[in-house]
Structure 1
Amino acid sequence: MADVLGKAVMDFQQGNYTEDIKTFSSLDEEDVIPVPYLFRDFKEMPKVEQKALKLAKGKILDIGCGAGSHALYLQNKGLDVTAVDNSEGCITVAKERGVQKTVLSNILDYSEETFDTLLLLMNGIGLAGTLSNLTAFLQHLASLLRPNGQILLDSSDIIYMFDEDEDGGYWIPNNGKYYGEVTFTMQYKGLKSEPFDWIYLDYNTLQNACWANGMECELMVSGEHYDYLARLTHKK
């Protein structure tokens, strides 16, 4: 699979930034990911990310680390953080930027150590792909967590993207799928990714999935754009 994200962050790191990543989704939306945004510092981050970084403690795993901005911030605060991503380009750039502990792996293939904090930022729960994969994904995350550990993740309820009727309900296509399931492709400088599944979870759906899998789920902060930060812990 073309490492679209990796190529874009490598270009930026090497001073060859000329364009952004284009994304195309099954919601008929075309969008861009501005590459400089992947290199943002703490003050440029949305409040859900800032809150997560303040709550992170102990031994930390930054899942889907991208260019390493979150890991770097935590490392600079003296915390023990490992950055994991399945993009070779992202891991190369994270190392070049100074992240000391990196792992090139799909998170579902990783089981080397356990942690006090798992971070899944920039809608990291999206890595689960679909609602039907959510149970296995949460169980795998729980297996990486120490007894008193926490998972900090942000997501968005994308219900606002659907048409609203007069009585406040939403017109959601009846295709048998959860409305937060989206298929994306990414494009950058002639490179195009294979289509991949990504999920945006409304908070109630996440909470119910956590309870079904023996985990507590707590809403830590709500953002300005239907987004939120949740903390997941083992049930006591």
Structure 2
Amino acid sequence: MKDLFGKAILDYQTNNNPEDLITATSISEADEMSVAYLFRDFKAMPKIEQEALGLARGKVLDVGCGAGSHSLYLQKEKGLDVTAIDISANAIEACKLRGINNALVKDVMELEDEKFDTILLLMNGAGMCGRLNKIADFLQQIKSLLAKGGQVLLDSSDIIYMFDEDEDGGKWIPTDTTYYGEVVFNVSYKGENETPFNWMYIDYNTLQNAAHANGLDCDLILKGKHYDYLAKLSVK
């Protein structure tokens, strides 16, 4: 991976002529994304993210923290002990420059011997496992990091709306995917192309079934305006 997302984040933080990211998926056309959006403050965040940050408590793990906007709010405004992790070294460098006390280049699947009261998987964070057949291992790892009485706060979207309907009202789902929420992401920045990577948008019912199968309760906290939602996972 060239870490183009991280390069864009660090360019913005250091005022190094940042440009828009170009993102596309296997089911959507290329679209421009302003890097500034990743640096949004609490007031500019979607209601779902605001709700999640309001529920955050205790020792917090922010998984896939990106530019660290969620961690920064929890650390500065709520005074919480936050650990921000991301596989992007450039993003973590930006987080440190922004003043996040504990920012680490780390894959959550490699984290061990630590417990957290709140684990954040925001901006479709559960999708980082890439494919539905990997969700069990992913949830088991997240579960192992929860302190007694801990919670996982995650948001995602049901992207069924992106597929065409047939005459009977059903959806035309490509036959080359196991689950319709699985996509391949392509990212470009400053003329460079990132290595395509797998991502997943998981609908609430599928998440709930996966959670229950892995010993977790799943509660719907908030529905968004466009097929998105916030859910809370906790140990049964």
Tell me the TM-score normalized by structure 2.
0.96
Give the 3-state SS of the residue equivalent to 1:209 in structure 2.
helix
Match of 1:234 in 2: 235
Q: SS state of the match for residue 29, structure 1?
A: strand
Corresponding residue for 2:119? Answer: 118
CA distance in 2, matches of 1:161, 1:20: 24
Q: CA separation in 1, counterparts of 2:112 and 2:156?
A: 24
SS at match of 2:207: helix
Deviates more, 1:37-46 or 1:159-168: 159-168
The residue matched to 2:95 in structure 1 has which SS?
Answer: helix
Once residues 98 and 18 of structure 1 are traced to their aligned partners in structure 2, the CA distance between those partners, rounded to angstroms, is 20
Do structure 1's residue 107 and structure 2's residue 108 form an aligned pair? yes
Q: How does 1:82-231 map to 2 (within 5 A)?
A: 82-231=83-232
CA 217–15 in structure 1, closer or farther in 2 if over 3 Å, else same: same
Alpha-carbon distance in 1 for matches of 2:222, 2:169: 24
State how far apart, in whole Å, the 2-side matches of 1:150 and 1:3 are.
30
- Return the alpha-carbon distance in structure 2 between the equivalents of residues 233 and 33 of structure 1: 33
Aligned in 2, Cα 1:5/1:149: closer, same or farther, shift over 3 Å? same
Runs of 4 or more consecutive aligned structure 1 residues displaced over 2 Å after TM superposition: 165-168
- Indicate the residue corresponding to 1:19 in structure 2: 19
Shift of 1:227: 0.5
Are 2:70 and 1:70 aligned? Answer: yes
Deviations along 1:21-66, one digit per CA (max 9) or x if unpaired, are 1112111421232100000000100011000000000100000000
1:135-180 C-alpha deviation (Å, 9 max, x unpaired): 0000000000012100000000000000123443211122252000
Q: Which residue is equivalent to 1:81?
A: 82
Whole-angstrom CA distance in 2 between matches of 1:119 and 1:103: 15
Q: 1:67, 1:87 → 2: CA distance?
A: 10
What pairs with 1:41-60 in structure 2 (closer than 5 Å)? 41-60=41-60
Which whole-Å CA distance do the structure 2 matches of 1:186 and 1:65 have between them? 18
Change (3 A) 1:30 1:38: same
- CA distance in 2 between counterparts of 1:61 and 1:32 reads 29
Unaligned runs of 5+ in 1: none
Structure 2: how far apart are the matches of 1:137 and 1:33?
28
1:32 lines up with 2:65 in the alignment: no
In structure 1, what residue type is equivalent to 2:20? D
Cα distance, 1:95–1:200 mapped onto 2, change above 3 Å: same
Range with bigger deviation, 196-205 or 23-32: 23-32
Q: Matched residues, percent identical?
A: 58
Question: Once superposed, what is the RMSD of the aligned Cα atoms?
Answer: 1.1
Q: May I ask how many residue pairs the two structures share in their alignment?
A: 235
Alpha-carbon distance between aligned partners in 1 of 2:163 and 2:91, rounded to the nearest angstrom: 33
Contact 2:9–2:91, Cα closer than 8 Å, also in 1: yes
Most deviating of 107-116 and 74-83: 107-116
8 Å Cα contact 2:8/2:18 also seen in 1: no
